[in-house]
Amino acid sequence: MFKIKNIKFIIFLFLGVFLFKWGYDLFGGTEALDLINKKRNKLYLLVLAHIPTLYFDSLTWYVLLKKRSLSFFWSFIITWIAQTSGKFFPTGNVTGEFVRIYLGIKKGLSSHEASSTVFADLILATFSLFIIGLFSFFLVVFKDSALIDSDYNHFIYFSLILIFSGCIFFYFLITKRLLRYLVRKTKPIFNIKLNKKKILFFIKLDVSLYYLTKKKVVVLKALFFRLIGWLAGAFEIYVFLLIIDVNASFIDVILIESFTGIMRAVAFFVPAGIGVQELAFVAIGSYVGLSPSISFSIAIGRRVREFLIGVPAVITWFGIFGKHLKS
């Protein structure tokens, strides 16, 4: 008998596949594939263009770690594997962060240090995404005032409000020490079974996050690297557009990167963000003047890059950490 979570997974998987097929048929999926196929010999450039993003994402986590308890090399390898499991496997970004915690612990981090730094990194990623999204939106509108009355603005406003609300929630969760309170209240309300070991883990996580926020220089440095990481992600889109001979400003691709990132984060329950990512690329791409087929080709190109960088990551995972999976 299927568990409820398995049923939900199947429902959201079918929803994602439906959205992808609908977008493929409506927005010129065949034309998008033709664009990519003509330039297939240059697609390796997408892998190279992704390395700066991976570097700065790894550096963010490395900066947050206490006394550099994990080398940058392992921070890079684990982040690479975790991001792959978050995008390459169907269960999405949430799984990727659990993988990062798991592998961090296997390389010597304590459970609360691994969890608190990954959680803090997620919060910084969310906040930096809001900053980049807001900044790029105003720059794009300033460049073309006609966009002020665009039909897509309600989508932009909704995304910004949603991500800002998330930032506010995380801020109070940490600074007001609400995690322990939520654990105590959630247990009786949702009938969640928490043994003493799990409760102690959440208490340590709460303390670690609180004291991490007191290290303002560390947090600001990590936030800076996260911001650079998002810009590097936009650079990857810029490279792809150059590959298929499409001209776009770097401000436009920053807007595309930030708001597709927001929508994928919001729709984390859809396996691998399938369908959601593609429609987000089309919506924001159309907003900055790209044709639907070009925008859809960016989404397909992103999937191709995820595959190209994901396969060696999975091989590395099982090659280096395979013995831990059996334990």
The crossing angle, in degrees rounded to 10, of helices 111-143 and 196-213 is 50
Q: What is the pTM of this model?
A: 0.83
- Return the CA Rg of the chain: 20
- Coil, strand or helix at 191: coil
Token digits for 206? 């709460």
- Give CA–CA dist 193/326, Å, rounded: 26
pLDDT per position as a tens digit, 214-243: 788 888 899 999 999 999 999 999 999 999
CB neighbourhood size of 44 (10 A): 11
Flag the least confident range among 16-25, 46-55, 213-222.
213-222
pLDDT per position as a tens digit, 243-286: 999 988 888 898 899 888 888 877 777 887 888 899 999 988 98
- Give CA–CA dist 183/188, Å, rounded: 9
CB 291 within 8 A of CB 165: no
Flag the least confident range among 4-8, 77-81, 102-106.
4-8
Higher pLDDT, 3 or 112: 112
> If you average pLDDT over residues 7-13, what whole number do you get?
81
Token digits for 99? 């993988």
CB 250 within 8 A of CB 221: no
What are φ and ψ of residue 273, in 5° steps?
65, 20
Higher pLDDT, 181 or 122: 122
Higher pLDDT, 137 or 184: 137
